[in-house]
A and B are shown apart, each in its own frame.
Chain A
Amino acid sequence: MFKDTEHLIRLAAVLILAVVAFVALRAAVVPKSFGQYGHYRANAIGEIAARPVAHAGHEVCEGCHTDVVDQKKLGRHIVVPCEACHGAQAKHTDDPATIKPPKLDTAVVCSRCHEANSAKPKAFPQVVTADHAQGLACDTCHQPHRPKIEENKTEEAAASKPAVKSATGGKK
């Protein structure tokens, strides 16, 4: 009887061998932390969390730039985080002497928030830059950290600062 099923027994042996080899391979190759919290490599959590931070956070900026904070406290931009305009500055806060944030083109930076758009809340201060600024950069008249111009100082402010033509004409 066995003689006539010998080929099937050989086949079964080959299959069993393959399964055993697979199980052994699996034990060797599957990452050790796999399955610790769920069906994934638990070490990935630590790897993802270990990424370096790029934004320092406004508290760190305020630690050194107290003069700017004093300015901001007088106006509405106190709620605007430093890096919203100045970009990610963790590199600068780590090495303030060597790495300096670049100077901003106010015509570009300011219009992102303040360009008139009907989707913005009605109460939010917004202007049509082309009509309002007439080609001038925003910081000709406005001090970015304390942007509101006191009424009787408008012309003085415009006169004292040289008219700065925006390098980009307000376009990026």
Chain B
Amino acid sequence: MEITRRRLLVLLPAAAVAWKYIQAGTPEASPNYKLSEHWWGMLIDIPKCIGCGSCVRACSAENDVPDGYFRTWIERYHVPDWAIERPEVESPNGGKDGFPPNQSTGKNFFVPKLCNHCADSPCTQVCPVGATFVSPDGVVLVDKNYCLGCRYCVQACPYGCRFINPKTNTAEKCTLCYHRITKGLTTACAEVCPTGARQLADLKNPSDPIHEFLKTHSVQVLKPHMATGAKVFYNGMDGSVR
């Protein structure tokens, strides 16, 4: 086809519009990954957690988490006697460097925390513009190109897992390493955990071992009275855990 000036006048704007659509990207997560075939969650086995902080460091490296903010963190609980309602909790730098030596008596354990990827997420309920959402495969994500940084979602999260990234001025939190799990990998935190205390779970995949685990163990979610539909399950969790 000969490129005449007239044809160019027609082609160029058409090409510009088409380029905008191409640049706009596509919603598919990756080839061969079907959104409707997955419903993601996580299993945390508290008796196995040794508080080494590998998960916190791995998450930070995998997701460029800014210093002082945490997409995941570890809490150390000390429950004196039967005082379930008054535990002593600490999380020095989120547990990123592990924990200092401690020989206290009583009941002590570690609890890793992260976004619970709630099915009835209160954070998505309050977002004024639709910048945070539950994806069709059950992961609560933030569209950082759309977020206003109003911080309402940070207020609405009962678990304290959200923060505002000071570089992008948008809301941020654990994405369940969406960029990994859609490629058949596991989350960075589960990848490095030396004791298997953290495991990614696909609640829609019947061959995922978590289905059997959930049937045979007593598990809880955090703050069940909030009815958030949390999908991070804790095995062996003490009543004092906040």
Please determine if A and B sit in direct contact within the complex, based on CB atoms under 8 angstroms apart: yes
Contact present for B194 and A113 (CB under 8 Å):
yes
For B26, the chain A residues whose CB sits under 8 A away are 43, 46
Q: Which residue of B lies closest to A90 (CB)?
A: B62
Contact present for B27 and A45 (CB under 8 Å):
yes
For A87, the chain B residues whose CB sits under 8 A away are 57-58, 61
Contact present for A55 and B27 (CB under 8 Å):
no
Contact present for B24 and A81 (CB under 8 Å):
no
B interface list, Cβ under 8 A from A: 21, 24-30, 33, 35, 47-48, 50-54, 57-58, 61-63, 76-78, 97-105, 108-110, 130-136, 141, 143, 145-146, 175, 178-180, 182-183, 185-186, 188, 191-196
A34 near B: Cβ within 8 Å?
yes
Tell whether A119 pairs with B180 under 8 Å between CB atoms, given A43-B26, A49-B30. Answer: no
For B104, the chain A residues whose CB sits under 8 A away are 118
Task: Report the count of interface residues on A (CB-CB < 8 A).
Answer: 48
Min distance, Cβ A107 to any Cβ of chain B, angstroms: 12
Q: Which residue of A lies closest to B182 (CB)?
A: A49
Instruction: Report the separation of the CA atoms of residues A111 and B52 in the bound assembly, to the nearest whole angstrom.
Output: 8
Contact present for B29 and A49 (CB under 8 Å):
yes
For A115, the chain B residues whose CB sits under 8 A away are 98-101
Tell whether A117 pairs with B102 under 8 Å between CB atoms, given A46-B28, A57-B191. Answer: yes
Instruction: Report the separation of the CA atoms of residues A129 and B100 in the bound assembly, to the nearest whole angstrom.
Output: 11
Contact present for A80 and B194 (CB under 8 Å):
yes
For B134, the chain A residues whose CB sits under 8 A away are 38
* Residue in contact with A48 in the complex, picked from B54, B178, B192, CB distance below 8 Å: B178
Contact present for B110 and A119 (CB under 8 Å):
yes
* Residue in contact with A47 in the complex, picked from B21, B25, B101, CB distance below 8 Å: B25
For A29-42 the 0/1 string (1 means CB < 8 A from B) is 00111101111111
A44 near B: Cβ within 8 Å?
yes
Contact present for A44 and B51 (CB under 8 Å):
no
Instruction: Report the separation of the CA atoms of residues A43 and B24 in the bound assembly, to the nearest whole angstrom.
Output: 7
Q: Which residue of B lies closest to A36 (CB)?
A: B27
With most chain B CB atoms within 10 A of its CB, the pick from A31, A43, A55 is A55
Min distance, Cβ A37 to any Cβ of chain B, angstroms: 5
Q: Which residue of A lies closest to B20 (CB)?
A: A32
For A128, the chain B residues whose CB sits under 8 A away are 101, 103
Q: List 8 A-B contacts (CB under 8 A).
A: A38-B133, A49-B179, A55-B180, A55-B191, A84-B193, A116-B103, A117-B51, A119-B77
Min distance, Cβ A80 to any Cβ of chain B, angstroms: 4
Min distance, Cβ A104 to any Cβ of chain B, angstroms: 13
For B50, the chain A residues whose CB sits under 8 A away are 113, 120-121, 124
With most chain A CB atoms within 10 A of its CB, the pick from B21, B110, B179 is B179
For B146, the chain A residues whose CB sits under 8 A away are 31, 40-41, 44
Contact present for B191 and A48 (CB under 8 Å):
no
Instruction: Report the separation of the CA atoms of residues A46 and B178 in the bound assembly, to the nearest whole angstrom.
Output: 10
For B132, the chain A residues whose CB sits under 8 A away are 40
A9 near B: Cβ within 8 Å?
no
Tell whether A53 pairs with B180 under 8 Å between CB atoms, given A120-B51, A121-B48. Answer: yes
Min distance, Cβ A29 to any Cβ of chain B, angstroms: 12
Min distance, Cβ B159 to any Cβ of chain A, angstroms: 21
Instruction: Report the separation of the CA atoms of residues A33 and B22 in the bound assembly, to the nearest whole angstrom.
Output: 12
Contact present for B143 and A40 (CB under 8 Å):
yes
Min distance, Cβ A121 to any Cβ of chain B, angstroms: 6
A88 near B: Cβ within 8 Å?
yes
